[in-house]
Structure 1
Amino acid sequence: MTSTDLRVLRREEWDDWYGRLELAFGETEPPEARALWRDLTEFERSIAAWDDGEIVGTAGTLSFGLSVPGGAIVPTGGLSMVSVAATHRRRGILTAMMRRQLDDVRAAGEPLAVLTASEPAIYGRFGYGVAARHARVEVDTARVRLDVPPDADGFRLRYADPAAALKECEALYARRVPSRPGMLERRPGWERQGVLDPEGWRDGASPLRCVLAEKDGELRGYARYSVKPEWDASGPKGTVVVHDLEALDPAAHAALWRFLFGIDLTSTVSAKSRPVDDPLFHLVSDLRRCGILLRDLLHLRPVEVGAALAARRYAAPVDVVLEVEDAFCPWNTGRWRLTGDARDARCVRTDAAAELELGVRELGEAYLGGTSLAALAGAGRVRELRAGALAEASTAFSWPVAPWLPHGF
């Protein structure tokens, strides 16, 4: 381990601290983004590693509520703004910060910790597993048509200023959170991230735009997007860049996508992050021309195994004894009896014989229902000790809706 001094970040140190983070990532944020991240920083939960008066490591924890299978919102620590100076690699700084962060999350009574990874290979050794993936989509709208439900015609679509409509859109988003695992209950201030639109981030696209879908005077969905114009010898071939799209029902969802597909002077719709089970994929006429790319998104690890497994609900009745290995948070290691169904769940220590054997990383991957325990067993990462236990647990941990994180942190 390093002799570097690790301590809580002071407000007057933030500019230097964030500058070190930018240095590690090789980029400089625009002033608007810096101002927002300063406001969102929880100083008492952020740490800096110091060496001879110089910041050489950064890490912050953010207080979230995470939607889990069954709709509960579980207190969760979000790990963000992590960096180690290139001059101080392989000195144990990252490990020390991960130790500090997980101890902090446990002390705060948060059963879960989550992160989004710039380099996904880093965090498995600290017990984080990929719990949610997302789809990048690029649709050739000149060749792909949408088959929308008949009631998609019953909406009034209107433009709105993104900032002026923010409160109304945020209320709709809050209604959506319990319906899909992996969504974050946004705390005050986080709504501003959805309308952050520095010119330097646009890559030639228009300023952020917003369209609302209303029915009988009620907001039923919204989309925030920009348009990137492009022309060649044949004429216009611009791109609609979708930033956010949320809807309360299938008809509003389809109406918004139809609007985006039909914007004049464009021939492509691009979205950087959509759920892997987005209904859009069942509206299009040709999936091959939708350029779908799956990537990891939300990494999760149970910090308190018993509380985490009791907080979610299960797709089928389950009664199984898990042998859990957790080298980094050894208080989780041991046998746990999980009983539960769609209405209730309980997970307690037990001396009973183990029926499934797995690590906390595998538990994190399966936690939101996006990864099958059976698939992990096929990779040799889960071991069945009682015949039938794997099928029972794998079915119970599944969920009808795929997990998805709508935005980074």
Structure 2
Amino acid sequence: MTADAAAPDARELPAPIVRALAPQEWEAWYRGLEVAFGGQEEEPQERELWRGLTELDRSLSAWDGPAQVGGAGAFSFRLAVPGGAVLPAAGVTMVGVLPTHRRRGLLTALMRRQLDDIRARGEALAVLTASESAIYGRFGYGLGTWRLSLTVPRAKVRLRSPGDASVRLRLADPAESSPACERLYASRVALRPGMLERRPDWERLPLLDAPGSRGGYSPLQCVLAEDRGTGQLLGYARYAVDVAWTAADVPAGTVRVRDIEAQSPQVYAALWSFLLDLDLTDTVTVRSRPVDDPLLHLVSDPRRLDARISDSMFVRLVDVGAALRGRGYAAPVEVVLDVTDEFCPWNTGRWKLHSGGPGKGAVCEPTTERADLALAVRELGSAYLGGTNLTALAAAGLVTELRDGALAEASRAFASDVAPWLPHGF
């Protein structure tokens, strides 16, 4: 008997059982996730953070007999959408399948159970970041936000914005200044689609600074921008420094910016001026900023920024009607969308969307009227936060215009004045 004949077809093997995670199973569940992502163990500080943030009632485990072979989780987020509303959204996370159990439909089973649970909770949206960007489209997730990374040679650029004498900068302990920084962050959330409200304990994530994960960089540092007269916090930046030297003993350190928030253009410029003027460094890097970040226009020579764009957050409309009613629209729109959703068939059908424009609210209900645009729920997710233009999707053959003028009308309405952006991973 050949080896091929002896091995059963994966389709004939018993299907693993997917069920809710029990509290005592967390360690094995999380270790399975680490194995699924290559096997390297996280630092204890990181592991402790994610254990504390895990919502056990939203965590699924997959079992093959006595062995735990996969899992998926979700966080209960609130997500900023165009128009300034902040809506409940499931933050899909910790999805992994052991190498021995791939290609057996286990991921599909986890996604099926999870989306059914999300719908039962009344959440109209699900979002995720993907380790491999090709995976989740078949489950209806569309790429909704992009991120910009920059590498700035500080000696070759200058800032065009003048300084503000009313702004005072001072160094502060990251943990001690965290409450004030979190209040400032919270005031910014509704201003940009894609940003997440931070629930209790999530303020710990920006402060995560496990020594074994620093990669040669300093402990986390924080600079505050305050009003010189009142002491009011106007902005902050968190960063770390890797001091290095060339063979000729010339300083060649790197500043790695973790996050930066400011209430005005002047304060934003003041913080960047500080970061670009740190002694013993010649490069400043930042991994994730909005694609319309003001620094692109603040510097004297944008070509020097080595700007790179990559995918960030994927968006899934779990309830098309509720999701489209929940966001605002940049222009009046009345359009019938013929939506296809193979994985969540309750969304499939024609939906009539009507809005009077900014501040006017929206109505979106099932209809039997003739369709104006045809698209899959994946493309609707891509366009939902305003970062991907429906016209661009149509140019790729992913949206079909069925009524002349409907595409331009919908594209204008779905647009956002600012690019959507996810401020941190999950």
User: TM-score, normalization: structure 2?
Assistant: 0.95
Which protein has the larger Cα radius of gyration, Structure 1 or Structure 2?
2
After TM superposition, give the deviation of residue 375 of structure 1 in Å: 0.1
Q: Give CA-to-partner distance per residue, 1:311-337, whole Å, 9 cap, x none.
A: 000111100000000000000000001
From 293, 310, 315, the counterpart of 1:278: 293
**Deviation at residue 154 of structure 1 after TM alignment:** 2.1
Counterpart position of 1:72: 85
- Give aligned pairs, total: 408
CA distance in structure 2 between the partners assigned to 1:153 and 1:306 by the alignment: 50
1:97 has 2:110 as partner = yes
Verify: 1:315 aligned to 2:330, yes or no: yes
Residue 142 of structure 1 deviates from its aligned partner by 1.1
What amino acid is aligned across from residue 395 of structure 2 in structure 1?
G
Q: Distance in 2 between the 1:240 and 1:349 partners? A: 52
Matched-pair identity in %: 60
Unmatched tracts of structure 2, length 5 or more = 1-10
Amino acid at match of 2:130: A
SS of the aligned residue for 2:51 comes to helix
Give CA-to-partner distance per residue, 1:373-396, whole Å, 9 cap, x none.
000000000000000000000011
Query: Is 2:259 the counterpart of 1:247?
Result: no
1:362 paired residue among 379, 384, 399: 379
Q: Which amino acid aligns with 2:314?
A: H
Which amino acid in structure 2 is aligned with residue 110 of structure 1? E
Match of 1:296 among 303, 311, 317: 311
| SS of equivalent residue, structure 1 residue 164 | helix
In 2, Cα distance between the equivalents of 1:309 and 1:84?
Answer: 33
Q: Any unmatched runs of 5+ in structure 1?
A: none
Which residue in the other structure is 2:125 paired with? 112
**Could you tell me which of 36, 59, 63 is aligned with 1:24?**
36
Q: Could you tell me which of 129, 150, 158 is aligned with 2:142?
A: 129
Give the corresponding residue for 2:8: none
Q: Given that residues 153 and 255 in structure 1 are in contact (C-alpha distance below 8 angstroms), is that contact kept between their aligned partners in structure 2?
A: no
Give the CA deviation at 1:57. Answer: 0.5
CA distance in 2: counterparts of 1:81 and 1:195, whole angstroms: 20
> After superposition, where does 1:37-76 map in structure 2 within 5 Å?
37-76=50-89
Q: Displacement, 1:147? A: 1.0
Indicate conservation of the 8 Å contact 1:69/1:180, yes or no. yes
TM-superposed deviation, 1:233: 2.9
* Structure 2 counterpart of 1:172, from 158, 180, 184: 184
Q: How much has 1:347 moved relative to structure 2? A: 0.6
Paired residue for 1:334? 349
Q: Deviations over 1:223-257 (max 9, x none)?
A: 00000111003400111100010111111111100
Structure-2 residue corresponding to 1:226: 240
Counterpart AA for 2:123:
E
- How far 1:201 moved relative to its partner? 1.2
Structure 2 CA distance for aligned equivalents of residues 6 and 82 of structure 1: 13
Residue 390 of structure 1: aligned partner: 407
Q: Contact 1:40 / 1:190 at 8 angstroms: preserved in 2?
A: yes
C-alpha distance in 2, partners of 1:318/1:266? 51
User: In structure 1, what is the Cα distance between the partners aligned to 2:410 and 2:162?
Assistant: 36
Deviations 1:278-328 (A, max 9, x none): 101110111111011100001001000000001000111100000000000
Q: CA deviation at 1:399?
A: 0.8
The DSSP-based 3-state class of the residue aligned with 1:35 is: helix
1:17 maps to a residue whose letter is: W
Structure 2 residue 161 is matched with structure 1 residue 148: yes
> Deviating runs (4+, > 2 A) in structure 1?
none
The 1-side partners of 2:165 and 2:116 are apart by 52
Alignment of 1:253-268 (within 5 A): 253-268=268-283
Deviation per residue, 1:182-209 (Å, 9 max, x gap):
0001111111000010011111110000
From 374, 385, 399, the counterpart of 2:416: 399
C-alpha deviation, 1:63, in angstroms = 0.2
Q: Map residues 168-247 of structure 1 onto 2, 5 A cutoff.
A: 168-215=180-227, 216-234=230-248, 235-247=250-262
- SS of the residue aligned with 2:31? helix
